[in-house]
Amino acid sequence: MLRGLQPDGKVLWTERLPNTPEDSAVMGLAIAQDQSAVALVGPVVRQKSETDFSLIRVDGNGRQTARKTLSLAVYGQGSNFGYLRFDGTAGLAVVNRGRWAKSGPDGYRLNGLGDAEQCWEGDAADIVLIDVGTLDERKHLRIDRFQVEDAVSTNDGWIVAGESRDACSTEVHAAAYIVKDDGSVQQLWRDASPFPTSARGIRTTGGIIEIIGYAERAVAIAEDVPTPKEHDFSSRRSGNEAYVSGQLFSVRLSAQGVEEGRDFVAAGLPTVPKGMVSTADRSVIFGTVGSRPLWLNR
């Protein structure tokens, strides 16, 4: 479903997107140069057909004016979520594939304590480069064990940022890849921190690439073996604040991916960035501190 809103929040129109597969959702939304809106739509689970994912264009009155299916092979046992970004006539559509437990004799490995640890597989980012005017596909590519959270255009393609998973384990680290218009892909940077990190936003300014993200920094060793428990959503705390500091981080990279600086923001409660919105001269990072909204000007 899509809705058009006035600046004061009044609903102008509601458009239910027809002929979408079961369990479908709007996974991404972008605005074209003609001010039409384009939605990336597809199933969150149970993809059944190569044409289950599509791009749907609606005008300012909510009328559907175009629809193009994306040719994505039926893949995986995990969930799907998407990302859509336009810059002029160039577009980037991503369907992130969730991981699932690996089966067979190599489905487990021994961790550093000698305990059996479940291995995982299947997560990947299916990336489609598109023509914004026609919604036609230009190139397809896939990056295994990677999930795209944000992207910024370059002269000959895109830089995509997100999280890259280590083989077998669930631990992830923030990473960025260069995706060129010819469909080639190259890793630009991967965070070498000893703790889990995930990139949530990216921008370029003055020849510098800035990536913001979330880091779970260990600050103490738990005295007892942690046991799973149901989260109390009435509390602003997760229960592990004595051992883990959830922080927002910012890293600055050269055009070649060399790290030139890093900052952290912590507030006692988990400080979790959800994304970053940028204009020519400033940016706003949005997210949460505990259960409260977070807004940071850059």
Q: Mind listing the pLDDT tens digit for each residue in 236-248?
A: 556 666 667 889 9
Q: Is the pLDDT of residue 131 over 90?
A: yes
Residue-level pLDDT at 85: 97
Q: Which domain holds residue 237?
A: 193-298
| pTM given for the model | 0.90
The mean of the pLDDT values for the chain is 90
pLDDT (0 to 100) of residue 240: 63
- Report which of residues 25 and 114 the model is more confident about: 25
Mean pLDDT of 1-30: 92
Segment 167-172 shows an average pLDDT of 87
- Whether residue 31 is contained in a domain is answered as no
User: What pLDDT is stored for residue 179 in this prediction?
Assistant: 98
Q: Which range among 110-124, 144-158, 262-276 has the greatest average pLDDT?
A: 144-158
- How large a percentage of the chain has pLDDT more than 70? 91
Instruction: Please state the rounded mean pLDDT for residues 42-56.
Output: 94
Total structural domains within the chain: 1
Confidence of residue 205 (pLDDT cuts 50, 70, 90): confident
Identify whether 15 is part of a domain: no
pLDDT at 58 over 70: yes
Is residue 153, in this structure, part of any structural domain at all?
Answer: no
Residue 178 lies in a domain: no
**Structural domain contains residue 231:** yes
Give the per-residue pLDDT at 22: 87
**Is 295 inside any structural domain?**
yes
108 within some domain:
no
Q: Taking Cα atoms as reference points, which of 262, 242, 105, 134 lies closest to residue 191?
A: 262
Burial class (CB in 10 A: 0-12, 13-18, 19+), 156: exposed
Task: Render the burial of 223-262: b for 16+ CB within 10 Å, e for the rest.
Answer: eeeeeeeeeeeeeeeeeebeebbbbbbbbebeeebeeeee
| pLDDT tens for each residue of 214-270 | 999 876 666 665 555 565 555 555 666 666 788 999 999 999 999 999 999 988 788
Q: DSSP readout, 215-251?
A: EEEE-S--SS--------TTSS--S-TTTEEEEEEEE
pLDDT classification of 77: cutoffs 50, 70, 90? confident
Is 71 a domain residue? no
pLDDT score of 17 more than 80: yes
Q: Are 123 and 98 in contact (CB under 8 A)?
A: yes
Per-residue pLDDT, 267: 84
